[in-house]
Amino acid sequence: MEYRALGRTGVQVSPLCLGTMTFGWKTDQAEATRMIDRFLDDGGNFIDTANVYSRGVSEEMTGKSLAGEKRHRVVLATKAHGKMDENDPNAWGNHRKNLMAACDASLKRLGTDYIDLYQIHRPQASVPIDETLRALDDLIRQGKVRYIGTSTYAAWQVMEALAVSKELGLNRFVSEQPPYHLLDRRVERELMPLCRTYGLAVLPWSPLAGGKLTGKYVRGQSAPEGSRENPENFSEATWAVLEGLDRHAKSKGCSSTAFALAWLMAQPGVTSPIIGPNSVKQLEENMAALSVSITEDDLKAVDSWIEPGTHTENYYRADFGPHPYR
């Protein structure tokens, strides 16, 4: 395992991060523990969760799976922002009242006394960034949080946060977690150059586009049982990418999943794509990407299917109006 620096922190993390969104939904406790143990055995040391995943159940399951010495081998990340109580108007958001309470609740569910990377799950225009940063700075000073990051922020919002942190002498964000994959490369326009310039780690979520890049969708065929997507709705541009990916992966002797993840890991500035397997079998399929080398010819092939900075599927939204966590 070749580890990578988490931005400017000096902390070393594995080039794939294990996401736990399926815990408590598609994955039970026993399988979650098997997955985490296998991930650690293979050299992985970076795990990401969030308080809203199954309304806290994912954090609880992650904490149980990491009980004991395993916890200290892991760079553990979680997130706050999403609504945790339908009857409390303050049980969500990026203001101090919610963040202080949400952090304490996450610590309890995770069974730990510190969070390595505490991330704001989405921006919130109605809350000034200095309100958010002051609360996060206090959590760091209290020893509850080591580092702070963002998720799905526009480039200007990350830049605003960095400027305010500098102005007020507060701890700054060290990472950003955007949607980034072969079907949506828009982060390459502004966000990726910003993160490279200011030393932020980039932790792409949905690196397989919700399963679209795994090779399971075939033109003219029904989607496999339990699939999230209806292939009849895919555009010609999306099919061009999926079919190009399938042909190219076969020519390299690897799966579409492994190639898509390997390509993403090879992009300048990317630290650790966040994989979301729901079983040990899927974890193994994802980890196979670590054995795939990306060449200049591979990069040119991808650019022929989808040009840099463009998209065929709409994942990277920077307007942040109503969203599913509210």
| 198 annotated active-site | no
d(C-alpha 256, C-alpha 73), whole Å: 31
Q: How far is CA 137 from CA 9, 64, 124, 173, in A?
A: 16, 28, 18, 10
Domain membership flag for residue 311: no
Domain membership flag for residue 230: no
d(C-alpha 276, C-alpha 181), whole Å: 14
* pLDDT tens, position by position, 256-280: 999 999 999 999 999 999 999 999 9
Selected catalytic residue, list 3, 53, 315, 316: 53
Q: Which residues pair with 311 in a beta bridge?
A: 184
d(C-alpha 208, C-alpha 264), whole Å: 10
Whether the per-residue pLDDT at 78 is higher than 50: the answer is yes
Domain membership flag for residue 257: no
Q: What would the two tokens of residue 205 be?
A: 């979520």
Domain membership flag for residue 300: no
Question: Are the beta carbons of 274 and 17 closer than 8 angstroms?
Answer: yes
Tokens 């309890």 belong to residue: 108
Alpha-helical runs (H) found in the chain:
29-41, 57-65, 70-73, 96-110, 129-141, 155-168, 191-198, 236-252, 256-265, 280-287, 296-305
CATH code for the domain in which residue 89 is found: 3.20.20.100
| Residue 93 DSSP one-character state | S
Share of the chain above pLDDT 70, in %: 97
- How many independent structural domains does the chain possess? 1
Question: Are the beta carbons of 151 and 176 closer than 8 angstroms?
Answer: yes
190 alpha carbon, distance to own chain's centre: 18
305 alpha carbon, distance to own chain's centre: 24
Whether the per-residue pLDDT at 325 is higher than 50: the answer is no
Whether the per-residue pLDDT at 322 is higher than 70: the answer is no
Stretch 134-150: mean pLDDT: 98
Domain membership flag for residue 239: no
Domain membership flag for residue 297: no
* Radius of gyration of the chain measured on its C-alpha atoms: 19
Q: Which domain holds residue 181?
A: 4-210+264-282
| Residue 296 DSSP one-character state | H
Q: Hey, what amino acid is at 283?
A: L
Q: How far is CA 140 from CA 148, 161, 198, 280, in A?
A: 8, 16, 21, 34
**H or E element that contains 116:** strand 115-120
Backbone angles phi, psi at 230, to 5 degrees: -105, 110
d(C-alpha 117, C-alpha 144), whole Å: 10
Domain membership flag for residue 290: no
Whether the per-residue pLDDT at 323 is higher than 50: the answer is no
Tokens 């706050």 belong to residue: 80
Whether the per-residue pLDDT at 326 is higher than 90: the answer is no
pLDDT for 324: 37
* pLDDT tens, position by position, 217-233: 999 999 888 888 889 99
Stretch 49-53: mean pLDDT: 98
Q: Hey, what amino acid is at 218?
A: V
Stretch 192-198: mean pLDDT: 98
Question: Are the beta carbons of 15 and 4 closer than 8 angstroms?
Answer: yes
Domain membership flag for residue 323: no
